[in-house]
Each structure stands twice: as C-alpha cells, then as structure tokens.
Amino acid sequence: MGQWRLRRSLSGSATRYGFGEVRRVHRERRSALVLVIAKLGFDWAMVLFLIEALSELDFDPGVRPVAVFLWLVGSWGGFVYWLIGRAGSRWYAVCDGGLLVGGGGTETIAVAWDAVEGVGPVAGGEAGKGAWRLSWLDGGKQRYVTFRTVTDREALVQAVELREPVPTPPGRRVLAGAGLVTVAGVVVWAVALSSLGDVVMVSRPYYLRDFGRLCTHPGASYAKAAPYGGSGPHPVVLIDEEKGTDPVVTAPAGRSGEPDPDDVQLVVCSRIVRRELDLVCMYEGGEASLTFYRARYRIDVYEARTGRRITGHTVDADTVDSCPIWMSLNGRRGREERVAAPAQEEYQHIVDEVAVGSPS
C-alpha cells in the first residue's frame, strides 16, 4: 500500500498501544537512483522492441506513439507503486510514544521509547557493511532488528536517539518533487526529444517498410527524412500496395543492397485503380476455377520529407493469353483469382528513372 494509506492503517495500532499519532513512516527500499537508471535502460530497449514488433506485424507506424505511451504509463505507474508503496517490505512508524515495526510478513512490533536501549551501526557481522541495529527490552529480554537502506535513515536514527519524532524538513519534500520532475524530464527526452523520439513520433523512418505509410495515408510525411531537390541520384523505394509494405524495388539497376532509411528521398507508390475480368479457366468439370483479371495501376511519386506528390501516371497490366494446363487447388472451394501486376522489370524501369532525377 502507499505511504498515505499505510499511515492511515497504522493509526489504529498506534492508538491501541498508547503511542498517540503516527508522525512519520520509514520504509526499507533499495537505491532508488540505481533502479531509476536501470529502468530507463530497460525502457529504451523495450521501446525499440515495440517498434520492431509493430513493424514486423505490419502495424501502421502511427500506432507507435500510442503503444509507447501506454507502455510508459503502465510501466512507470507499476514501478512507482513497487518502489514507494509495495506491500510486504518492512516499515518503521515513528509515533509520539514509541516505534511500530512491521511488514515483510511479520507481526507488528510495538517498541515504547522507554524500552529502547539504543541504535547504532553494525560493525561487520551478519548484516554487513552499512547496516544499523535497533535494540530494546521486551519483558526483560533483549530484542533487536537490523536494517540497511530505509527512507531517510538518518531521521529514523535521530528519532530513536532523541526518543521523539523528527518532522520531515520542508526542503526534503521540495527536493523529492524536483527529483520526480527530473526523472519525468529524462523520460520525456528519451521518448520525445532524442533520436529515438523521432522514430516513436513517426517523424523519422526506421525501416524501409515505414515508407508504405505515404502510400496508404494521404498527407503522411517524415519530417526528418532526407530532403529532395537538385540533380540525382535520388535514393528511392517502390512499394506495391497489393504486396504489402515491404518495398518491391529499392535500388536502380546495377546497384546492390538497400538504401539507408535516413537517405531515402522519394517513395513510389503503386496501387490498383481498376480491374476487369479477363479470363475464366474451368477445371474438374467446373468444380474448380481460376479467374484472371487485367488491372490498371496508378504510379505516384512522393517526396518522403513532405509527402508532396511529385508526379504520377498509370500502367496497364495484362494477364495470360490462355488457360494453364493445370492449377493447384487451395484446399477450400477450388476457386482462385489472380490479378495482373506490372512486371518486376517495369517497376525497375520506373525506379531507374526516378533515381536519376526524371520521374515520369
């Protein structure tokens, strides 16, 4: 439970033992700084994983900001709850008349101020370096509890030594607030202002398949993409919507490899604008059929940085002239359709023209 809820729940125990009001609660925890740094590193890796996973699953890049936001909200909410208010860790409640010790699966221990023998650092022993030991008498028998890192340990030690609560300095609360703001600032920088933020906010392409968004979303653009202008060559990718978001052609003829996403200036989009019945082939006495369609494709060239359409034209694609001798049934109804598409050589020719600076 959280600090506020814990203090409320302990009020009854403090009254029952005659300790008065609960003034302050100290909780065992690990080094917050180390955990925050580790959490930031984990988040960075997780955001990269989300980007790659969404891309592999063919999600639109515009989903990334929402996915990352939901991850960070849930992740940091759970982290803060675990760090500050997780149940089961030991706590020390400083009251007017004594100290309550509990948590960690143990029963609450009530230690009146007049029963306290002392508190001091442990020199070696099983607790190790940095541990402190609080000892008190319980029915004439000495008891003790050892603690390492607790919230504001110095104030806890001072309260035990003085036999009275030590109030929280106002400046400490301001410092804690500033720390939270700093952490929030680092998170915002990591996901919104850094180079990773450009990818998350879809202003910079991360994969070549990201450019498929320019074909499916009118007005889409990548503000951090390479500028287009001047003489060629212009790195370009060609995407056929019927074949998904993976580019069909990525380089001019004679060049091997793919361009870096940050270097791509132009995106060629091929989409069907019309299809017409061309040929129907019947097999197995009419139980199976293979239908061919001729199609007209719209070829548009867009500037990756602005989404501006540079030029465009249409291409007609024809199917076969005669029926194949045999067909492979799809295992369901034996009915299949095939839509004509521009040949790979034709796509390659388009890319070659665009790359040298004369899109047509």
**pLDDT for the residue numbered 256:** 72
**pLDDT for the residue numbered 32:** 66
Residues 225 and 194: their CA atoms lie apart, in Å, by 15
CB 267 within 8 A of CB 210: no
**pLDDT for the residue numbered 171:** 59
Residue 9 identity (one-letter amino acid): S
Residues 355 and 195: their CA atoms lie apart, in Å, by 27
**pLDDT for the residue numbered 127:** 42
Closest C-alpha among 136, 130, 87, 128 to residue 111:
136
Tokens for 210, please give them. 């990201």
Per-residue model confidence as pLDDT tens digits over 251-265: 887 777 788 999 999
Residues 39 and 183: their CA atoms lie apart, in Å, by 11
Measured torsion, CA atoms of residues 235, 240, 243, 245, in degrees rounded to the nearest 10 = 50
Contacts of 353 (CB under 8 A, 6+ apart): 359, 360
Contacts of 87 (CB under 8 A, 6+ apart): 1, 103
Cα-based distances in Å from 301 to 8, 239, 349 = 66, 10, 14
Q: Does residue 269 sit in helix, strand or coil?
A: strand
pTM here is: 0.64
Measured torsion, CA atoms of residues 15, 17, 19, 20, in degrees rounded to the nearest 10 = 10
Per-residue model confidence as pLDDT tens digits over 274-293: 999 999 988 877 778 889 99
Residues 31 and 182: their CA atoms lie apart, in Å, by 17
* Domain range annotation of the chain: 3-190, 208-355
Residues 169 and 189: their CA atoms lie apart, in Å, by 31
Tokens for 223, please give them. 């503000």
pLDDT less than 70: residues of the chain:
1-7, 29-32, 83-89, 104-106, 123-129, 170-180, 183-194, 329-333, 357-360
**pLDDT for the residue numbered 85:** 57
